[in-house]
Amino acid sequence: MLSTHLLMTNFLNGSEGRVYLDTASPRVCIRGPEDLTKNDYYDIGYETLPEDSVFPFMELRAAAVDRRRCGQFISKKFNRKFLDDMRCRIIAQLVTLIDAGVRHVILSAFGCGAFRNPANNVAVIYREEIEKRATHFDVVVFAIFHAGYGPDNFTPFQKVFLGFNGDDDCAKFVCSCEGFCTPPRQVRQKKC
Choose between 80 and 166: higher pLDDT. 80
Domain-embedded: residue 11:
no
Predicted confidence at residue 59, as pLDDT, reads 92
Domain-embedded: residue 80:
yes
- Of 62, 2, 146, nearest to 158 by C-alpha is 146
**Average pLDDT, integer, range 120-124:** 95
Domain-embedded: residue 102:
yes
Percent of the chain with pLDDT over 70: 81
Q: How many domains does the chain have?
A: 1
Question: pLDDT category, 72, cuts 50, 70, 90?
Answer: low
Q: Which tens digits make up the pLDDT trace of 4-62?
A: 988 888 888 888 999 999 999 999 988 888 777 776 666 667 888 899 989 888 999 99
Choose between 94 and 3: higher pLDDT. 94
**Which residue(s) pair with 173 in the sheet?**
180
Burial class (CB in 10 A: 0-12, 13-18, 19+), 146: middle
Q: Which tens digits make up the pLDDT trace of 11-22?
A: 888 889 999 999
Is the pLDDT reported for residue 177 higher than 50? no
**Average pLDDT, integer, range 136-164:** 86
Domain that residue 154 falls in: 74-186
Give the side-chain half-sphere CA count within 13 A for 66. Answer: 7
Is the pLDDT reported for residue 157 higher than 80? yes
Domain-embedded: residue 29:
no
Burial class (CB in 10 A: 0-12, 13-18, 19+), 86: buried
Domain-embedded: residue 83:
yes
Domain-embedded: residue 1:
no
Question: pLDDT category, 166, cuts 50, 70, 90?
Answer: low
Is the pLDDT reported for residue 128 higher than 90? yes
Query: What pTM was estimated for this model as a whole?
Result: 0.79
Domain-embedded: residue 100:
yes
**Rounded to the nearest 5°, which phi and psi values hold at 57?**
-150, 155
**Average pLDDT, integer, range 149-176:** 72
Domain-embedded: residue 35:
no
